[in-house]
Amino acid sequence: MSRKVTSQDVARAAGVSQSAVSRVFSGASASKNTQAKVRQAAADLGYRPNVLARSLITGQSKIIGLVVAYLDNQFYPDALQRFSNALHDLGYHILIFTAKTRGEGVDDLIGRLLDYQVDGIICASVGVSDELTSRVEAAGIPMLLFNRGQTGSPFAQVTSDNLSGSHKIAEYLVRGGHERFGHVAGWLGSSTGQQRAKGFNQGLEAHGAHLSGQRDGLYSREAAAQAARELVEQERCDALFVSNDHMAFAVLDELRVKVGVKVPEEVSVVGYDDVPMAAWASYDLTTYRQPSNRMVAAAVETMIKLIAGEVPETKEIEIPGALIERSTARWPKE
Amino acid sequence: MSRKVTSQDVARAAGVSQSAVSRVFSGASASKNTQAKVRQAAADLGYRPNVLARSLITGQSKIIGLVVAYLDNQFYPDALQRFSNALHDLGYHILIFTAKTRGEGVDDLIGRLLDYQVDGIICASVGVSDELTSRVEAAGIPMLLFNRGQTGSPFAQVTSDNLSGSHKIAEYLVRGGHERFGHVAGWLGSSTGQQRAKGFNQGLEAHGAHLSGQRDGLYSREAAAQAARELVEQERCDALFVSNDHMAFAVLDELRVKVGVKVPEEVSVVGYDDVPMAAWASYDLTTYRQPSNRMVAAAVETMIKLIAGEVPETKEIEIPGALIERSTARWPKE
DNA sequence: GACTAATTTGCATTCCTATGCAAAATCAGC
DNA sequence: GCTGATTTTGCATAGGAATGCAAATTAGTC
């Protein structure tokens, strides 16, 4: 409709030059007088600076690309919300891309992100191919992996203490007096999945126990439910560590309702993440908390530094979590 | 790092003019020969058009602003995912804004959206003030309300059949042989909340029943749980309609675990939305399906039309849902 | 009031791509 | 091979805002 109002229009109305208008809105020096005139004229005309034009010249779009998968896992909408708030407070905005759950097509997504001259890219739980890695590096765009590591990757990463966390879970289950331990892993093609499996294993060994069975739950409800059933029925496990809460809920549904075993009397189940839903009375899931607030804060802080060209002291940030005792696993008797 | 590769660079490398490069990438006419040369040079240099510069001149940013609240209600991440996929397929991208759960500050958000020259704005479950309405209208940016109506609003809107849906729920509960009906409303300051309350009421009346009590659940778990408890303990309701699944889960948790009543033997609970979680075995919630796939499809289609300057035949689109019988409400005996 | 230092201002240019226009090249037809 | 029609190409400019530079204005000092 009404043609766009430009800084030219404001300049004319205020009786100053276009540069003056620009200076007022970009916070550069300007006299009180000009400030007032320009602000007034801008308000009258309904002028707002065109961010796209601005970024063309400053080279800063103030846009962060966020690639996210697994939105059905409550951990991610929750993190998204936090990212959104934190970044908006810093004047950044989020261009969002949802990746297919298994990471194909990510390369294409990121190409499109680069087209938008994003100032940085955050990949939540999404891996990046080598080819893409070099393209992003060549473009000189900071990138950060969230809740996902990648060995040999040049990018920053923020995760929880997957290794020690699952170690502690193993310990907890051993102390709970269980006998046969099973693990419903996250997708073992992901570093996070691998780390948690490794930590759990090491934790068991460290306490003289061992794994009776492990299945890949692929971060999917169906696969996890199936895996749990097998571990209980075939391997006769009485303690299950499920690699994230999202799958753990499926496991609980399967065991309680379909298989018909009592949790935790017959089988203990421990998750990982402590998403809000884990505290809901119907599940009341014993789990390991990934502090998403602190993870997001760290990720944002790091990203801002990277954008500013600083080299953060440490590229791989690990936020410590904590075991949350609830009612799906037998409590150790002290 | 390496300075950005521009169309100039490609032109030089390919031995053609900058305009030629532009034409190749924007699909305008160009000879086979030039096409090949340019494509080759672009590939060598790793050139990709700068979308921001392009949109500056075309006036189309290919960005859609999406304002979303209540991300803890699974309905919205789910919808977000669908929006993302649908819009990406059409070459659009999403700038996402999360609104505080009660809608203050939305005006500010949308101002920032406008700064980015978005081609359109979708507000999911978020109301818009009158002042903002006129600003958006003045800017000539198409806007669409998703899962939220607004009387007298000039904007397009896509909702489910809230009125007839909750009417059917009332009917279902009456036929189930219940005696005292309670309603845990959505936030009654929202049109959706009002409509569902109204439909439920009318449905009861139409079958000779009436409402024994209603509380505002404010779309929050805590408020809903409290409301349900009151309706059961004080109003002795044996049938509850909860205005969305998100609250219904809280109600089930409260009633089963905290209050200790049997669902559906003592109290029936029906939700609204049919989010994926409603089908999970632990809840197995009887509810009314809002077909988010069709709602999103309709929203996207309408938005594209609006952007193209077409006037859609109908501004208020209502997608019919369906009652999903599960196990939290007594089944009517035919 | 004169003279220097410090601010403020405007001019002109830049960021990168798309596009109207005119010139150049290609094609078609005889 | 020539003419006219059509396509391809390059030139120049636009789109909106930021910024280096120099000119103009103001403030500061004695």
Instruction: Write down the mean pLDDT value for chain A.
Output: 93
The answer to whether B295 touches B320, Cβ cutoff 8 Å, is: no
The answer to whether B149 touches B157, Cβ cutoff 8 Å, is: yes
Q: Quick one: pLDDT at residue B3?
A: 64
Q: Any idea what the Cα angle at residue A53 is, between residues A20 and A82, rounded to 5°? A: 110
- State whether residue B50 sits within 8 Å of chain A by CB: yes
Please state, in angstroms and rounded to a whole number, the distance separating the CA atoms of residues A127 and A106. 8
Angstrom distance, A16 CA to D20 C1': 19
Which residue minimizes Cα–C1' distance to D14? B57
Q: Quick one: pLDDT at residue A140?
A: 87
Q: How far apart are the first and last CA of chain B?
A: 73
Please state, in angstroms and rounded to a whole number, the distance separating the CA atoms of residues B249 and B286. 11
CB of B146 nearer than 7 A to strand C = no
Residue pairs spanning A and B at CB distance below 8 A: 148
| 3-class SS of residue A267 | coil
- State whether residue B202 sits within 8 Å of chain A by CB: no
Mean pLDDT to the nearest integer, A78-96: 96
| Contact residues, chain A, for B76 at CB < 8 Å | 77
3-state secondary structure string, chain B? CCCCCCHHHHHHHHCCCHHHHHHHHCCCCCCHHHHHHHHHHHHHHCCCCCHHHHHHHHCCCCEEEEEECCCCCCHHHHHHHHHHHHHHHCCCEEEEEECCCCCCCHHHHHHHHHHCCCCEEEEECCCCCHHHHHHHHHHCCCEEEECCCCCCCCCEEEEECHHHHHHHHHHHHHHCCCCCEEEEECCCCCHHHHHHHHHHHHHHHHCCCCEEEEEECCCCHHHHHHHHHHHHHCCCCCEEEECCHHHHHHHHHHHHHHHCCCCCCCCEEECCECCHHHHCCCCCCEEEECCHHHHHHHHHHHHHHHHCCCCCCCCEEEECCEEECCCCCCCCCC
Q: How many residues comprise chain B?
A: 334
- State whether residue A43 sits within 8 Å of chain B by CB: no
Token representation of residue A94: 């989020």
**Exposed / middle / buried, residue B233 (Cβ in 10 Å: 0-12, 13-18, 19+):** exposed
Q: Any idea what the Cα angle at residue B203 is, between residues B199 and B206, rounded to 5°? A: 135
| B15-24: long-range pairs with CB below 8 Å, 24+ | B21/B47, B22/B49
Q: Each residue of A118-149: pLDDT tens digit? A: 999 999 988 787 778 888 888 889 999 999 98
Is A173's pLDDT higher than 80?
A: yes
Is A210's pLDDT higher than 80?
A: yes
- Count CB atoms within 10 A of the CB of residue B116: 22
Is A233's pLDDT higher than 50?
A: yes
Range list of β-strands (E), chain A:
63-68, 93-98, 120-124, 143-146, 156-160, 181-185, 211-216, 239-242, 268-270, 287-289, 316-319, 322-324
Q: Quick one: pLDDT at residue B1?
A: 45
Q: Quick one: pLDDT at residue A2?
A: 53
- State whether residue B44 sits within 8 Å of chain A by CB: no
334 residues of chain B, pLDDT tens digit each = 456 899 999 999 999 999 999 999 987 777 888 888 899 999 999 899 999 999 999 999 999 999 999 999 999 999 999 999 999 999 999 999 998 755 567 888 888 899 999 999 999 988 888 788 888 888 889 999 999 988 888 899 999 999 999 999 999 999 999 999 999 999 999 999 999 999 999 999 999 999 999 999 999 999 999 999 999 999 999 999 999 999 999 999 999 999 999 999 999 999 999 999 999 999 999 999 999 999 999 999 999 999 998 888 788 999 999 999 999 999 998 7
Q: Quick one: pLDDT at residue B151?
A: 80
What DSSP character marks residue A50? -
Higher-scoring residue by pLDDT: B153, A292: A292
Please state, in angstroms and rounded to a whole number, the distance separating the CA atoms of residues B161 and B51. 39
Nearest to A281 among B88, B111, B258 (CB): B258
**What Rg value do the Cα atoms of chain A yield, rounded?**
25
The structure's pTM equals 0.94
Mean pLDDT to the nearest integer, A60-66: 95
Q: Quick one: pLDDT at residue B146?
A: 96
Token representation of residue A246: 């999202």
Contacts of B229 (CB under 8 A, 6+ apart): B254, B255, B258, B259
Q: Each residue of A183-202: pLDDT tens digit? A: 999 999 999 999 999 999 99
Q: Quick one: pLDDT at residue B130?
A: 79
Is A1's pLDDT higher than 60?
A: no
Q: Please give the residue of chain B at the shortest CA–CA distance from A100.
A: B85
Q: Quick one: pLDDT at residue B101?
A: 59
Asked if the Cβ–Cβ distance from A72 to B78 is below 8 Å, we say: yes
Contacts of B18 (CB under 8 A, 6+ apart): B7, B8, B11
Pairing of strands B143-146, B156-160: parallel
Token representation of residue A317: 């940030």
Q: Quick one: pLDDT at residue A125?
A: 85
Indicate the angle between helix axes A106-115 and A130-139, nearest 10 degrees: 10
Which residue minimizes Cα–C1' distance to D25? A31
Token representation of residue A82: 């936090």
Please state, in angstroms and rounded to a whole number, the distance separating the CA atoms of residues A312 and B330. 60
Task: Tell whether the torsion through CA atoms of A74, A80, A83 and A88 is positive or negative.
Answer: negative
